[in-house]
């Protein structure tokens, strides 16, 4: 297998980073969306048992799911007038919590195969794609506006490689000639994410799965480097090794891994770029 050079890694992560804004915007909008596809009102001519099921579904949504979503969302979130006045660490924590809720379900699905899921490349790439969202969202809330530093953070959190922003800037300047295949990814990736995101009738879980699939197709090129990404609790991963119920362990493992990706990003922002964070 050919060596995965820094130039190639930067090209792939630049393609990934270029499409992140679309997905983060979707996550912002999904805080007001239904937990999944809305339950249609029962038709008067439907049998009584079916009408009872429909009534129960609407009741659960109105009295259980919607309040839970409101609690998880919090009173301050992107788009609210007081959002920008909140400390950076609080805004970053909102994103970590929200992405963990939004993405842990789809990323846990491959775990249903138990230990056999370790042989499925999609398991690693879905997990890395979700963690990359955390890295980009957290770094933005701490004022990291340049793509070079965000790509540097992505490289270290997802693969363990340290590539300085100045090196990334140089590599991106020669990217089309060094890695022509990877250099064509951003436009293609943008179309894929656009196709996955803007379907308002799809439930949140289905939209999350579609968007993460598009992200995973890009980072899948660096599949062999993803063992260094953040991992969940050992106990949850042990449960995830069991067939069938492994999806439960996978959910908690991926949820914890996403939180650790946020913590790791804050640590690197402080240590490498001198930005004061909650982890300082």
pLDDT exceeding 70 applies to what percent of the chain?
69
pLDDT of residue 2: 56
pLDDT of residue 270: 95
The pLDDT confidence band at residue 183, using thresholds 50, 70 and 90, is very low
Higher pLDDT, 47 or 89: 89
The pLDDT confidence band at residue 274, using thresholds 50, 70 and 90, is very high
pLDDT exceeding 90 applies to what percent of the chain?
34
Inter-residue contact 196 to 214 (CB < 8 Å):
yes
- Helix residue ranges, H only, the chain: 6-30, 48-60, 66-73, 88-108, 121-141, 147-159, 165-173, 175-178, 180-183, 185-196, 204-219, 234-240, 246-273
Higher pLDDT, 178 or 251: 251
Kindly report, residue by residue over 56-96, the tens digit of the pLDDT. 555 544 555 555 555 555 566 787 888 888 999 999 999 99
161: Cα separation from own chain's centroid: 20
Kindly report, residue by residue over 241-265, the tens digit of the pLDDT. 787 778 888 888 899 999 999 999 9
How far is Cα 64 from Cα 175, in angstroms, rounded to an integer? 50
> How many other CB atoms sit within 10 Å of the CB of residue 83?
13
Look at residue 137 and tell me whether its pLDDT is greater than 50. yes
Structure tokens at 270: 């402080």
- Cα four-point dihedral sign 260, 264, 265, 269: positive
Kindly report, residue by residue over 105-131, the tens digit of the pLDDT. 888 888 877 776 667 778 889 999 999
Q: Which burial class, exposed, middle or buried, applies to 234 when counting CB atoms under 10 A from its CB (0-12, 13-18, 19+)? A: exposed
Look at residue 226 and tell me whether its pLDDT is greater than 70. yes
The pLDDT confidence band at residue 35, using thresholds 50, 70 and 90, is very low
- pTM confidence score: 0.76
34 sits in the region (left: phi over 0; alpha: psi -120 to 50; else beta) called beta
The pLDDT confidence band at residue 146, using thresholds 50, 70 and 90, is very high
How far is Cα 23 from Cα 197, in angstroms, rounded to an integer? 7
Inter-residue contact 19 to 218 (CB < 8 Å):
yes
Inter-residue contact 246 to 113 (CB < 8 Å):
yes
pLDDT of residue 27: 83
Structure tokens at 101: 């809720």
Q: Which burial class, exposed, middle or buried, applies to 13 when counting CB atoms under 10 A from its CB (0-12, 13-18, 19+)? A: buried
How far is Cα 270 from Cα 143, in angstroms, rounded to an integer? 12
Look at residue 180 and tell me whether its pLDDT is greater than 50. no
N- to C-terminal Cα separation, the chain:
40
């Amino acid at each position: 297998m050919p060596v995965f050079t820094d130039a190639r890694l930067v090209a792939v992560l630049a393609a990934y980073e270029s499409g992140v804004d679309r997905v983060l915007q979707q996550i912002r909008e999904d805080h007001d969306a239904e937990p999944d596809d809305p339950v249609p009102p029962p038709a008067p001519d439907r049998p009584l048992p079916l009408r009872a099921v429909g009534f129960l579904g609407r009741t659960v949504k109105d009295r259980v799911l919607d309040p839970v979503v409101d609690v998880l969302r919090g009173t301050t979130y992107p788009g609210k007038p007081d959002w920008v006045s909140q400390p950076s660490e609080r805004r970053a924590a909102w994103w970590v919590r929200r992405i963990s809720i939004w993405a842990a379900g789809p990323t846990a699905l491959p775990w249903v195969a138990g230990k056999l899921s370790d042989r499925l490349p999609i398991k690693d790439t879905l997990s890395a794609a979700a963690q990359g969202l955390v890295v980009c969202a957290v770094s933005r809330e701490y004022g990291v506006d340049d793509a070079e530093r965000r790509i540097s953070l992505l490289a270290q959190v997802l693969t363990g490689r340290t590539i300085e922003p100045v090196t990334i800037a140089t590599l991106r300047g020669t990217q089309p000639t060094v890695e022509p295949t990877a250099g064509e990814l951003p436009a293609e990736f943008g179309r894929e994410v656009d196709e996955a995101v803007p379907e308002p009738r799809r439930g949140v879980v289905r939209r999350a799965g579609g968007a993460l699939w598009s992200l995973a197709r890009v980072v899948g090129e660096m599949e062999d480097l993803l063992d260094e990404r953040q991992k969940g609790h050992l106990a949850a991963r042990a449960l995830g090794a069991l067939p069938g119920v492994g999806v439960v362990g996978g959910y908690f493992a991926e949820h914890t891994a996403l939180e650790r990706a946020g913590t790791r990003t804050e640590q690197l922002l402080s240590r490498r770029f001198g930005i004061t964070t909650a982890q300082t």
